[in-house]
Amino acid sequence: MSLSPTVLSPVLILAAYLFGSLSFAVLVSRWMGLDDPRTYGSGNPGATNVLRSGSKKAAILTLLLDALKGFVPVLLVRVFAPELGVGVLTVGLVGLAAFLGHLWPVFFRFQGGKGVATAAGVMLAWSPWLGLAVLLTWLAVAYLSRYSSLAAICACLAAPVYQMLFWDDVTLLLAMVPMCLLLVWRHEGNIRKLLAGTESRIGQKAASPAPAPHAPLHPHAHGGKHAAGHGRGRRGSKSSHSKGKH
């Protein structure tokens, strides 16, 4: 017996959220024997921070998997929407749910990333042309500024504008606008660093731990100094004594 769209839509949305809750930055790092990305750099479990570990392979794999977990559920629902009896709004909410899963993953104590790659995958599945426009915007800003966070913010803010200008169906905006606003909000710390000029650039490795404070001088060192002083004093007294003899 097939489920009615009223029942099926929440099931699809929940499934997308659970799929989005797979934190591939953490999983890939574990598989490749790297440190947990939540423990270095920006602390964000995402591809950009994984790149700071020095492993380009891990960063690329994380980027692709994070994008796929937004792309796959949306594409499946979009392709089979007529058979499933669901509409465009469900397609949009499935994408939003996958994005929310990345931000607050139930499998990782709700400590997720910022959702840039997942949002890109969602938009690409919503509309290939929209995804391409957003990707080109990201690449242009990233190339000019070398700031991944700034590129993500600009590309995400441009997405609803592209949707309104070039596509008639604005139903997706009901899911797209909240997703973009959440993405910008998740970059609040990056925005502050950008304004302060302290934001990390693309490819910049995680900062090395601060050097340990210098240990106090060994007591023998002080003793050596005192001994040297006493030696000089003895030599001085001997010199004076010899002068007295002369």
Q: Are residues 189 and 227 in the same domain?
A: no
Q: What is the pLDDT of residue 205?
A: 56
pLDDT of residue 225: 44
Give residue 48's pLDDT. 79
Shared domain check, 97 and 13: yes
Which of the 8 DSSP states describes residue 110?
A: T
Note the helical H segments in the chain: 5-20, 24-31, 47-51, 56-79, 81-84, 88-103, 116-126, 128-145, 148-166, 173-186, 188-196, 219-245
Within this chain, do residues 40 and 120 fall inside the same structural domain, yes or no? yes
Provide the pLDDT for residue 218.
46
User: pLDDT tens-digit profile of 180-228?
Assistant: 999 999 999 999 999 999 988 876 655 544 444 444 444 444 444 444 4
pLDDT given at position 83 = 87
The one-letter amino acid at 129 = W
pLDDT tens digits for range 62-108: 999 999 999 999 999 999 988 888 999 999 999 999 999 999 999 99
Could you tell me if residue 203 is inside a domain? no
Give the pLDDT score at 234. 46
Q: Is residue 212 part of a domain?
A: no
Same domain, 246 and 153: no
**Domain identity same for 171 and 226:** no
pLDDT at 242 over 60: no
Determine the Cα–Cα distance for residues 102 and 124; give it in Å rounded to an integer: 17
- Residue 178 within a domain: yes
Question: What percentage of the chain exceeds 70 in pLDDT?
Answer: 81
Residues 78 and 181 in one domain: yes
Backbone phi and psi for residue 228, each to the nearest 5 degrees, phi listed first: -60, -40
Region 22-41: mean pLDDT is: 92
Does 222 share its domain with 121?
no
In a domain, 141, yes or no: yes
- Same-domain pairing of 150 and 237: no
What predicted TM-score, i.e. pTM, was given to this entire model? 0.78
Dihedral angle of Cα 196, 200, 201, 203, to the nearest 10 degrees: 170
CA distance 176 to 88: 12
Residue 205 lies in a domain: no
At 203 the pLDDT is: 63
Same domain, 30 and 92: yes
Listed residue (82, 93, 98) closest to 171, CA to CA: 93
Is 207 a domain residue?
A: no
Express each pLDDT in 134-183 by its tens digit.
Answer: 999 999 999 999 998 899 999 999 999 999 888 767 889 999 999 999 99
Buried b (16+ CB within 10 A) or exposed e, 161-200: ebbeeeeeeeebbebbeebbebbbebbeebeebbeeeebb
- Chain position carrying tokens 């993405």: 183
Domain count across the chain: 2
Predicted confidence (pLDDT) per residue in 98-144, tens digit: 999 999 999 999 999 999 999 999 999 999 999 999 999 999 999 99
**Residues 91 and 124 grouped into a single domain:** yes
Domain assignment present for 206 = no
Structural domain range at position 243:
217-246
Structural domain contains residue 96: yes
Q: How far is CA 164 from the centre of its chain?
A: 28
Q: Which residues are within 8 A (CB) of 69 and not within 5 positions of it... i.e. 6 or more apart?
A: 19, 20, 22, 24, 98, 101, 102, 118, 121
43 pLDDT band, cuts 50/70/90, is confident
The reply to whether 102 and 162 lie within a common domain is yes
Question: Do 144 and 232 sit in the same domain of this protein?
Answer: no
